[in-house]
Amino acid sequence: MAHKVTLIPGDGIGPELTEATRRVVEATGVEIEWDVQLAGADVMDQFGGNPLPPQVLESIRANKVALKGPITTPVGSGFRSVNVALRKELDMYAQVRPGKSYEGVRSRFEDIDLVIIRENTEDLYAGVEYEADSDNAKELTTWIKSKGDKFRFEDHVGISIKPISEEGTRRVVRFAFEFARANGRKKVTSVHKANIMKHTDGLWLRVSEEVAAEFPDIEFEERIIDNMCMQLVQKPELYDVLVAPNLYGDILSDLVAGLVGGLGMAPGSNDGDHAHVFEPVHGSAPKYAGQNKANPTAQMLSAVMMLRHLGETDAAQRMEDAIAKVIAEGKDVTYDMKEDRNDPTAVGTSQFADAIIEVLGSRVPA
């Protein structure tokens, strides 16, 4: 029986990455019924200026699983992030971002195998912001002034609210412990800044400790975010699963991506109780769109995560092994994975997929 999966090509380099990935997934022999849905900056005009048309959400709700390419998010202005909107609309409260070393990938670090689990709907990314001189922020401005803090309100001042709830914290921390247990992981580290933000991050830490008590078989520890960044660079081997509020999780996942060779090696998933969207961590790189140049590894590894979620564990392992083999050989890889980025033997996105498909075809499925 075929699995029904929503496929969102995205924009920028997204369509090239998702097409290459779709071909590799199909080469594993797993039957997928793809429901292609368009979203992002490139299709806004087709849907009345909406980068996230209702039918995209309806498809994911029906299929419960989606493979998504990167979508452009304007910086500082423009429409709100489609990625953030998807997470909130579908209540995908946990984001899983693995960081794993692969032979043949240039990095100063070896044998990295970490997982960042990021709270996905709260914290500063909830987008609760004001200008201090606007009508809807006057009371807040008055309150801040009454506390005696020396803010300068003569000019425009931006105020961002950091909501962290007990329910939101409890479910994502429990997700992290359940993930650790299901995947044979030994330790969960909760990341915070409770020494400074005592009400928000203090709540996060308290709830983390309460949830940890429910999982005596999993080691638990806590780390302050700035110290955590230093620890990951100095001794990443001491850590296993990290769970963090939204902003810290975003920062840490990029840091871990740097340990394993960059964002081109960074897959991810957004998970809720009723929807799961698999996508790479990196952006849409519009300047490379249509050039058959981008590295599809993160997109493909996201599809490996998707196959595991669908229960196709053998196909997922064969796909990951084939990707690892092509990378280790270093012959049919994109320019960014070569010692010399100007190496004329570098292949394109599609040819990288061809090489992986050839490896998959040379193996007899278990």
- Catalytic (active-site) positions: 125, 193, 226, 250
Q: Kindly report the backbone phi and psi dihedral angles of residue 284, in degrees, each rounded to the nearest multiple of 5, phi listed first.
A: -90, -10
Token digits of residue 349? 């996105």
Euclidean distance between CA atoms 244 and 192, whole angstroms? 7
Euclidean distance between CA atoms 182 and 272, whole angstroms? 16
Cβ distance 49 to 325 under 8 Å?
Answer: no
Cβ distance 124 to 246 under 8 Å?
Answer: yes
Which parts of the chain are beta strand (E)?
3-8, 32-36, 65-68, 94-100, 113-119, 129-131, 158-160, 187-192, 219-224, 241-244, 269-271, 276-278
User: Residue 175: which of 97, 96, 239 has the closest Cα?
Assistant: 96
Q: In what order do the strands lie in the sheet with 3-8?
A: 32-36, 3-8, 65-68, 276-278, 269-271, 94-100, 113-119, 241-244, 187-192, 219-224
